[in-house]
Structure 1
């Protein structure tokens, strides 16, 4: 069967008012996941002081940190690598009221050697205000996406707001999946951040096109990265061979067990939705509360296809022009009498740049603004319109008026800066990594490059999104050239007929890279799962503040309550327009929830992490 073929979809009645459609006959397979024998056992040493029972779950035992009273180091001084590693979770006070640990887990879950190689998984937790009381419900693990995003960094930037949303009954724990962030060993193919930056500059100022010379350039670049990674991290015990999503899902089992929990509480974004699908399929009996937010079709992911993502990309990009028009001339500097006229104005500037790029000599470092740079800027801003659309408008207006002062200030938000320095000043656990290839391509089916197939593939992507397709089409090449295969990858059905508790899926109506149709397809494979649609533009629910969404998340986490079939939540704040809700009518708790959602709009997961 041609994998480029698209299955016809019937209208999905509960969401008919939004014009949504979805598959109604996607099969699921009930199966028993084979047990993994000889897995290294973790020893729990916590003091058991209370077990509280709900209808579904046992409230976990709490292990207190060994030095929780010691002063925490400032973020810039905290050294993850100096933190002791252990085969049990030994918390240390860190940052400002947080707890950190490095948990040793087996590198190879298929190995029978209990004393074999390990990986140190970095954990960072915000303790629940209710710890030690009858209200305490346990720990929620969070994943920011990527693949390759740092969960510990997500807690740094968004943990307090996530904690407010899930409620005071839960700890919030971010972990760095094996090979990423502060977990060691790290997946690094380049000798230094400077070497990586220099390498990125060589891609040039033209988009990938399957029908001209750029294809050869982009493909050769992926061959270079694949060869470097194979040499650096692809050996017998190289970390790239042990980063499969199956291994990370099993790591989550071990982490929850170490915390004294029988089942998983989880909120995963973007690629985190893939991790959630794997977990629910592999360990359906260990699902307590699992939210997958910004849902990518796991079957498409595991096929290493990356061709279902852009169905709504153009609609999200075009929303910039609609919101600008709705906001009016006082709030949007590109205002015209219709959204189409604003769109034409935007692309007139881009067409001029195609012929005459704009030099910004006083920027640090100096920059040249090209059509590719501005399309890439719009592509990235589609992930978080509320936080980023203003910068797009400021950029276009500055080019129109030849305002070099503004362009100088904006340059770093338009063109990725490159700095040639022996010491980048970036903490190693925050540095860019090569996790996408190791995880996504390792999880995927092997598909050697085929020029005829790729030409059709590229055309189909560009048909879905003329502006996003040339950017997204590189991911197929990444996996086509990738050489390192994982020691273990899960190949069973990404489905489960009987999870211990139903999953909750959350999807914006228009998500640039995880379209609603993917969420509808995934929901069919997990019978009983709930689907919450947020009527907004952007990546994951975080991209648009919605009190309605926050309330449903809180209800699901605290009581296990799913939204009614067909539930659609509206956004409370829109790009350029601002607030569209009456805050005065809200209770104190509702205001706190809405402010927490607003705080998350700037930390929307980006491709490859945050």
Structure 2
């Protein structure tokens, strides 16, 4: 173990110098403009990030759904398809759903013996769009896995461009009036006021009631069991029997479900940011926050270590920074701050601060320095930077309903997680007891409790779909990846889930953040590539380092070894660029609305 870590450390030392070349002011990567984001509503009200570059520049209506895969050129050099699958696999000929897919095609000819087939990607949620995921991060992920593979992002049934699409509302305007797109759409801290928990409980009852009233008969089939079956249909439509898959966050539940249902159809299966699937299907949501406070302390301690030049919120001790944040929370609870920007306006209040801090824990390399500056500005009375960290453009009313036919909506995520799990009692006392118990696990329970509440008053559908056990002797061993300080999918869950899959291996990445792509680890992604390409699993107990801190110290820049940079191969330089881009932009939510 020690020898393996030593070899990894020597290897990664070469990349440290290259990392700071990227960070230098003259580097083209430091000037790289990452994709612009628009915001739509997540399953619990808050705007979830969707990529503006995925705005349909061709009509999905022109892609005719078929049971045989027919690819159509779309976007910029990609291909799109819509696959017909049974709506209800118990009655496969009764009605159909369609699954929208977007593909980055392998640069290796499909007739070549070097071609390795498709890898399906799922960005989590539930409710995440694979079509959007390919637009956001498909290119650097393709660099990681290699040119031998097609990458396919799909919108799971009920979501985005797949049909039938989940909707609780008669129109976009009705959704806007109830769920909102500004401050009214944001997840509130359950500690924001004396009645916040009760009001959130009452709104969740309304949502569940609407779900049942507006159901056209298709809602009960929007679940993980059926999506796993859809993935097998996609694989077989490619003329293959074995699934190759990389699933993130909730995508780990989907991957574990597929492996348990179809163990003989596993080719290569990576689940990254692993959820305790048993806890998920039980609708407990009780052990996700085991490492959240640890992640928060990585921000605090990293700021201290970075010094006043590396962290805008610097203080000599962690206790002083924590006291500063406590003062900000107390001040905002008493008096919110109004903000007006060039594109929107609103308030920065206690919930805004709590939510922004929690969201930053998902993507430390992308957000820790920005959060530190925003908190420092807030200490000086300026709330604009903090507001902009979750700013969203105002709602735009459209006159043509077809323009928004394939728009992602937040209630789709609620449909999946509430259909998947058991019904939960809707009495307020039960919700209060759950919240009080969760509060003993983490100081961020105030933002997590609404996840479970979204299933209150959910329609009483039969729960006959697969819900475990998650035990299988798969045809090829599963690779699980967990970070040492993941705010919502603790490493503990990856180790627990691995026990059910014979021969599986847990790869640990020593970094904060949600899923491996939130941190820059050459080591991790080389193991991922070896697994997909050659079927080589990392040795048990492998721990991969990252090549920099979210708060890089200035002295590393001045001391970088140019010879080490020159010693890197072209392939390693390309991989370094990919992991750097991903760590500076990767941001998926679990659940999608947080």
TM-score, normalised to structure 1, is: 0.82
Residue 86 in structure 1 maps to residue 66 in structure 2: yes
Residue 501 in structure 1 maps to residue 484 in structure 2: no
Distance of 1:374 and 1:74 partners within structure 2: 30
**Which residue of 546, 561, 579 maps to 1:597?**
579
Specify the SS of the correspondent of 2:297: helix
Greater displacement, 413-422 / 215-224: 413-422
Q: CA deviation at 1:488?
A: 4.8
Give the aligned partner of residue 525 of structure 1. Answer: 500
Distance of 2:129 and 2:186 partners within structure 1: 29
Counterparts of residues 398-477 of structure 1 (less than 5 Å): 398-403=377-382, 407-408=383-384, 411-414=387-390, 418-419=394-395, 421-422=397-398, 428-466=405-443, 468-477=444-453
Counting matched residue pairs gives: 531
Specify the SS of the correspondent of 2:499: helix
Residue 360 in structure 1 maps to residue 335 in structure 2: no
* Structure 1, unpaired ranges of 5+: 1-12, 18-72
Aligned partners of 1:438 and 1:484 also within 8 Å: no
* Structure 2, unpaired ranges of 5+: 6-52
- Cα distance change, pair 587–341 in 1 and its aligned pair in 2 (3 A): farther
**Which residue of 250, 253, 257 maps to 2:229?**
250
Aligned partners of 1:385 and 1:538 also within 8 Å: yes
Q: CA RMSD in A?
A: 2.6
Aligned partners of 1:244 and 1:488 also within 8 Å: no
Distance of 2:202 and 2:104 partners within structure 1: 44
Distance of 2:204 and 2:127 partners within structure 1: 18
- Cα distance change, pair 282–206 in 1 and its aligned pair in 2 (3 A): closer
- Cα distance change, pair 532–223 in 1 and its aligned pair in 2 (3 A): same
Greater displacement, 528-537 / 128-137: 128-137
Distance of 1:486 and 1:546 partners within structure 2: 44
Give the aligned partner of residue 141 of structure 1. Answer: 120
Aligned partners of 1:534 and 1:571 also within 8 Å: yes
Counterparts of residues 13-52 of structure 1 (less than 5 Å): none
Aligned partners of 1:241 and 1:484 also within 8 Å: no
Distance of 1:608 and 1:222 partners within structure 2: 16
1:467-510: CA deviations, max 9, x gaps? x20111112222232115267511441211x1000000000011
Distance of 2:475 and 2:188 partners within structure 1: 50
**Which residue of 451, 459, 478 maps to 1:483?**
459
Q: CA deviation at 1:103?
A: 0.7
Give the aligned partner of residue 356 of structure 2. Answer: 377
Distance of 1:212 and 1:329 partners within structure 2: 38
Q: CA deviation at 1:278?
A: 0.3
Aligned partners of 2:198 and 2:428 also within 8 Å: no
Distance of 2:133 and 2:492 partners within structure 1: 27
Aligned partners of 2:100 and 2:155 also within 8 Å: yes
Residue 396 in structure 1 maps to residue 379 in structure 2: no
- Cα distance change, pair 314–192 in 1 and its aligned pair in 2 (3 A): farther
Give the aligned partner of residue 130 of structure 1. Answer: 108
**Which residue of 71, 78, 82 maps to 1:98?**
78
Aligned partners of 1:281 and 1:495 also within 8 Å: yes
1:104-138: CA deviations, max 9, x gaps? 111110015x3x21111101111111123221111
- Cα distance change, pair 196–314 in 1 and its aligned pair in 2 (3 A): farther
Q: CA deviation at 1:224?
A: 1.1
Greater displacement, 203-212 / 431-440: 203-212
Distance of 2:59 and 2:447 partners within structure 1: 36
Aligned partners of 2:479 and 2:505 also within 8 Å: yes
Greater displacement, 310-319 / 443-452: 443-452
Give the aligned partner of residue 264 of structure 1. Answer: 243
Aligned partners of 1:166 and 1:554 also within 8 Å: yes
Aligned partners of 2:304 and 2:317 also within 8 Å: yes
Distance of 1:319 and 1:190 partners within structure 2: 41
TM-score, normalised to structure 2, is: 0.84
